[in-house]
Every structure is written in C-alpha cells, then in structure tokens.
C-alpha cells in the first residue's frame, strides 16, 4: 500500500518540487523549481518553510536537486534563469552549493545544466550530471567539502544524463531522457549502455537538433519510447536492493527492472 508522505498543497502554493531528500525527523527538503527558487522544508501537513534561499549575496534561483550526505546537504542549480527557448551546451551558469555546520557556500560553478549528484561509496569523489553538456563530471571531494580535479566523462550527442545512483559494487547507474538510456559506469570511468528505448532515426534527429542549438522543451516532453519515456531518475530498492525503480518526466507511473547488483543504501536509511 502506498500513501501520501506529504499532503501539503505545494503546487497550489506556487512551488514546483523537484529533487527531494528525507530528513531524520520525517520531514522533507525539496529543491524548488518555482519562481521563488531555493530549498524548502516541509512536513506531512505543511506549510513549507525556507531552508536555503541565499548564499551570501547569491540568491538561490530555481533549484534542481537536493541531497543529504550525513551532516552535509548538497544542492544543484541547473542555470541562473529559467524559461530558455533552447537547451544547449552553451549555458554555463550551473552551480553546486554545500551546507555544512550551518554555513552554505558555492562549491563549484560555471557548470552546464547541473542535475543530480552523488557521492561515491568510498567518499572520495562527487559525481554530477551536466545534462545538456552530455556528460557526467567527477570531482575529487576533500574533507572540507572542496571540489577539485574535475574529470569529464563525455557521452554521444543526444545522450542527456539526468538521474544517477550507485550500486554496492561502486558502479554508477545513469538514466537519460529522450534516448531512455541506462548507462552503467565502473569506478575506472569506463561505461556502457545497458538499456535504451528510442527509435534510431528519431534519436539521430534529436541529436542533430541539439547539436544545432535548436532543442526545445516541447521536443523533449513529446519524445516517446516503446516501453518507457523520458527516464529521469533511478533508485534501488526491494528486499534484496536489486530492483531499479525508474522515474520519468512524463510517465504517470514508475518502471522497474532487475539489477545485477544490489544498490548502495540511501543516506536516510542510516539515520537509525
């Protein structure tokens, strides 16, 4: 049985919750893609309260993703503004913000459509998807939350990495809208496509449109696979942690696949 974890009228209140993170007390943080931007906190009945709206003089614009990492919180902002006519690799106003010890700072900037991020199981690296740069980026993660030694893992044009999750073997699983690709990346950064659901001719057309700088939101939203459409998030679950739950920008339900390896437990499961 599935029941609502939050019944607060967030959409009616002008919020567009995107990334979510569960707090130890059962409340949620959510990245707000609505006009007020920032990261907000909400309990089962609401109301939503501000969690992070500014970093110094930097006002957090509509935010994409939030993740709890022990005592730290990580936030991504895809771009400084919304409402772009076209999506391309030319946008370089994405940021990563970290909150630690009650203090927030920008950990990385000048990124391209910053999307979901994850910390490697060994705690050595931070991986982030730069969606419309068609790449995943790895940073060395310092004990002070500093990000250094940027490494790009590039994918073919039209492969737009969005959601990602680690398995217990240290492999990173990445999902992509439009192509509906699932990519499995090993710790040595080699990768392979293990699943896709996209007509080859349609994909070639979308890749060419992207390369010309003419890709629009409607083109993405209207793309369809035969079984799934616009895969955008991935999580491991089930009794043996070998069920992959796949979220979508446009499907009204989750898709499920069996994984060859168990997933890495999510942070909030360790709260005790």
Using pLDDT thresholds of 50, 70 and 90, give the confidence band for residue 72: very high
Give me the pLDDT at residue 1, please. Answer: 55
User: 194-220, pLDDT tens digit by residue?
Assistant: 999 999 999 999 999 999 999 999 999
User: 94-108, pLDDT tens digit by residue?
Assistant: 999 999 998 999 999
Mean pLDDT in the chain?
Answer: 94
**Domain limits for position 191:** 156-272
What's the average model confidence in pLDDT over 256-262? 96
Whether 47 and 28 have beta carbons less than 8 Å apart is answered as: no
- In the chain, the percentage of residues whose pLDDT exceeds 90 is 88
Write the CA distances from 26 to 49, 141, 146, integer angstroms.
Answer: 15, 28, 29
Determine the Cα–Cα distance for residues 139 and 56; give it in Å rounded to an integer.
Answer: 24
The secondary structure of the chain as a DSSP string is ----S--S-TTTTT--EEEEEE-TTS-EEEEE-STT-SEEEE-SS---EEEE-EETTEE--S--EEEEETTEEEEEES-SS---SS--TT---EEEEEEETTEEEEEEEEESSEEEEEE-TTSSEEEEEEGGGTEEEEEEE-TTS-EEEEEEEE--TT-----EEEBTTS-EEEE-TTT--EEEE-TTS-EEEEE----HHHHHHHHHHHHTT---HHHHHT---SS---EEEEEEESTTS-EEEEEESS-SS-EEEE-SSPBPPPGGGGG-
CATH for 5: 2.120.10.30
Dihedral pair phi/psi, residue 81, rounded to 5°: -135, 170
- In the chain, the percentage of residues whose pLDDT exceeds 70 is 97
* Domain stop point among 154, 181, 197: 154
Using pLDDT thresholds of 50, 70 and 90, give the confidence band for residue 6: confident
Residues 104 and 214 in one domain: no
Checking if the pLDDT of 146 tops 90, the result is yes
Residues 102 and 214 in one domain: no
Give me the pLDDT at residue 270, please. Answer: 64
| Domains: count for the chain | 2
Using pLDDT thresholds of 50, 70 and 90, give the confidence band for residue 16: very high
Checking if the pLDDT of 128 tops 70, the result is yes
Give me the pLDDT at residue 173, please. Answer: 98
Checking if the pLDDT of 154 tops 70, the result is yes
What's the average model confidence in pLDDT over 116-137? 97
Whether 176 and 183 have beta carbons less than 8 Å apart is answered as: yes
Tokens (6 digits) for 4? 């609502």
Give me the pLDDT at residue 83, please. Answer: 81
Region for residue 38 given its phi and psi (left: phi exceeds 0; alpha: psi -120 to 50; beta: otherwise): left
Residues sharing a CB contact under 8 Å with residue 168, sequence separation 6 or more, in sequence order: 121, 241, 261, 262, 263, 264
Using pLDDT thresholds of 50, 70 and 90, give the confidence band for residue 3: low
Residues 170 and 116 in one domain: no
* Domain stop point among 106, 122, 154: 154
Checking if the pLDDT of 272 tops 60, the result is no
Give me the pLDDT at residue 8, please. Answer: 80
Residues 266 and 167 in one domain: yes
């Amino acid at each position: 049985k599935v029941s609502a974890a939050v019944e607060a009228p967030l959409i009616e209140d002008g919020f567009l919750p995107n990334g979510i993170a569960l707090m130890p007390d059962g409340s949620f943080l959510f990245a707000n893609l609505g006009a007020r931007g920032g990261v907000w906190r909400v309990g089962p009945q609401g109301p939503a309260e501000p969690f992070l709206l500014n970093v110094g003089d930097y006002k957090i614009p509509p935010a994409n993703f939030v993740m709890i990492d022990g005592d730290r919180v990580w936030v991504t902002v895809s771009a400084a503004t919304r409402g772009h006519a076209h999506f391309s690799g030319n946008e370089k106003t994405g940021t990563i913000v970290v909150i630690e010890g009650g203090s927030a700072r920008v950990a990385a900037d000048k990124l391209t459509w910053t999307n979901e991020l994850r910390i490697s199981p060994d705690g050595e690296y931070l991986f982030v998807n730069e969606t419309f740069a068609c790449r995943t980026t790895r940073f060395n993660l310092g004990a002070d939350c500093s990000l250094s030694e940027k490494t790009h893992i590039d994918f073919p044009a039209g492969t737009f990495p969005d959601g990602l999750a680690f398995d217990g073997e240290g492999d990173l699983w990445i999902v992509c809208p439009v192509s509906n690709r699932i990519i499995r990346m090993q710790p040595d950064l080699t990768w392979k496509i293990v699943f896709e659901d996209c007509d080859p001719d349609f994909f070639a057309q979308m890749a060419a449109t992207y390369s010309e700088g003419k890709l629009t939101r409607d083109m993405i939203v209207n793309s369809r696979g035969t079984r799934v459409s616009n895969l955008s998030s991935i999580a491991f679950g089930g009794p043996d942690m070998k069920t992959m739950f796949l979220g979508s920008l446009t499907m009204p339900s989750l898709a499920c696949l069996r994984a060859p390896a168990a997933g890495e437990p999510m942070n909030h499961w360790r709260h005790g």
